[in-house]
Structure 1
Amino acid sequence: MNSKDFTAIAETIIAVKDADLALRDKLILSSKLGKGYHPDMEALHNHNAGVLDQIIDSIGYPTIGKVGKEGSEAAWLVIQHSIGQPAFMKKCARLMEDAVERQEADATNLACLADRIAVFENRPQLYGTQFDWDKNGELSPNEFDNAYRVNERRKSIGLNTLEEQTAIIRQQAKLENQSAPSDLKSRKKETEEWKIAVGWST
């Protein structure tokens, strides 16, 4: 496949990423972001995952060398948001690991993806990139093994400290008018039921 073909593919990946972010902005404006997994967002995430999966079957992982930095970043975002597709996310994580080793993908993006998979599989995350509402109504990192080790791993790939990132995440949530669920226990129960329904856990 020639470079012109890859250019068209890059444009497709960027377009589905842009559709994702546009819907997110719409949900923020209507104060519907953070109120559970909105069905419109879920449908779009599943659709985008299907589009990208076909692309990966055709050209392999969308590395920087194939689709450019913007295209590769867009591919990662689509993968990161394909939370209803466990097999696809884990397949992409394996492919992305190979790409990172060849310096053809971003190590920080891989850290976020690996952490997200760990959280959905009810395992401690390694880099502390994934957050959720805690019992005090604050966004806090999902379970991790050890704060010192997390910060050492974050430093090794150029991320800020866990404490700095927590402050940023909480400030962003305020700017987007996100708020903690009124019934955290019910929210967690719904999340676990959803994980079972889509295949993250049994």
Structure 2
Amino acid sequence: MDYKELAAVLIGLQDADLELRGQLIQIGKLGEGYNEEMASLHRQNAEILDGIIDKIGYPTVGKVGEEANKAAWLVIQHAIGQPHFMRKCSKLLEEALHENQADIVNLAYLTDRIAVFENKPQLYGTQFDWDQNGQLSPNYFDDLGKVNQRRNSLGLNSLEEQTELIRNQAKTENQSPPQDFELRKIEIEKWKKSVGWVE
């Protein structure tokens, strides 16, 4: 199998993911916990990508092209039930970055997502969730000034601007906050333990 075929596979994984997400938005079920069908698709996509990585290493732009490289990142970013896989890909993405074969913004998003699942502060403020006031807000981060400095160094907007964008997107997608914030927090922590993010 050549890299062009693998590129097409990666783009197909991304398209399936985005299509299911769109369906869940339409029926108003995107924010209601981790949808089982979506969890299953994310797991399956991660397995396929892991097999590709075993064959060719990290699917860099040089190997599979820009579109398929972005698709691979999306699959990794959504493989939230596979901590080992996400951590492995984070290291591979870092190595690819040192060879100028990856996008530093993708690494920032992945680093933050892993930090959030490990209950650590995020560095770039890329990850959001519902707060107790029913608003989408950045997950726990270390210091607003430092976060904005890091975001600026990557060419990203300020965290305040990003928060406004994320909240507007949620309105556009008719996303609504959980009915029971405290229960959702408990369920998320239980899920993190069940898949191995925390002990």
Under TM normalisation by the shorter chain, which class is it? over 0.9
2:137 is paired with a residue of what secondary structure? Answer: strand
The corresponding residue for 2:13 is 16
Is residue 140 from structure 1 mapped to residue 137 from structure 2 by the alignment? yes
- 4+ aligned runs moved over 4 Å, structure 1: none
1:91 is paired with a residue of what secondary structure? Answer: helix
The corresponding residue for 2:57 is 60
Residue from 30, 34, 38 that aligns with 1:37: 34
The corresponding residue for 2:48 is 51
1:187-202 equivalences under 5 Å are 187-202=184-199
2:129 is paired with a residue of what secondary structure? Answer: strand
Name the aligned partner's letter for residue 66 of structure 2: K
The corresponding residue for 1:92 is 89
Once the 2 structures are TM-superposed, how far is the Cα of residue 102 of structure 1 from its aligned partner? 1.6
Name the aligned partner's letter for residue 77 of structure 1: L
The corresponding residue for 1:151 is 148
Alignment RMSD: 0.7
The corresponding residue for 1:184 is 181
1:130-178 deviation per Cα after TM superposition (whole angstroms, max 9, x unaligned)? 0000111100000100001000000111111100100000000000110
Name the aligned partner's letter for residue 112 of structure 1: Y
The corresponding residue for 1:119 is 116
Once the 2 structures are TM-superposed, how far is the Cα of residue 128 of structure 1 from its aligned partner? 0.2
Once the 2 structures are TM-superposed, how far is the Cα of residue 120 of structure 1 from its aligned partner? 0.1
2:121 is paired with a residue of what secondary structure? Answer: coil
CA distance in 2 between counterparts of 1:154 and 1:40 reads 33
1:67-126 deviation per Cα after TM superposition (whole angstroms, max 9, x unaligned)? 001010000000000000000000000000011122211110110000000000000000
Is residue 109 from structure 1 mapped to residue 99 from structure 2 by the alignment? no
- Consecutive unaligned residues in structure 2, runs of 5 or more: none
2:92 is paired with a residue of what secondary structure? Answer: helix
Q: Between the two proteins, what is the percent identity of the paired residues?
A: 61
2:170 is paired with a residue of what secondary structure? Answer: helix
Structure 1 window deviating more from structure 2 (98-107 vs 17-26): it is 98-107
Q: TM-score, normalised by structure 2?
A: 0.99
Is residue 170 from structure 1 mapped to residue 172 from structure 2 by the alignment? no
Q: TM-score, normalised by structure 1?
A: 0.97
Is residue 73 from structure 1 mapped to residue 70 from structure 2 by the alignment? yes
1:97 is paired with a residue of what secondary structure? Answer: helix
The corresponding residue for 2:22 is 25
Name the aligned partner's letter for residue 75 of structure 2: V
1:140 is paired with a residue of what secondary structure? Answer: strand
Alignment size in residue pairs: 199
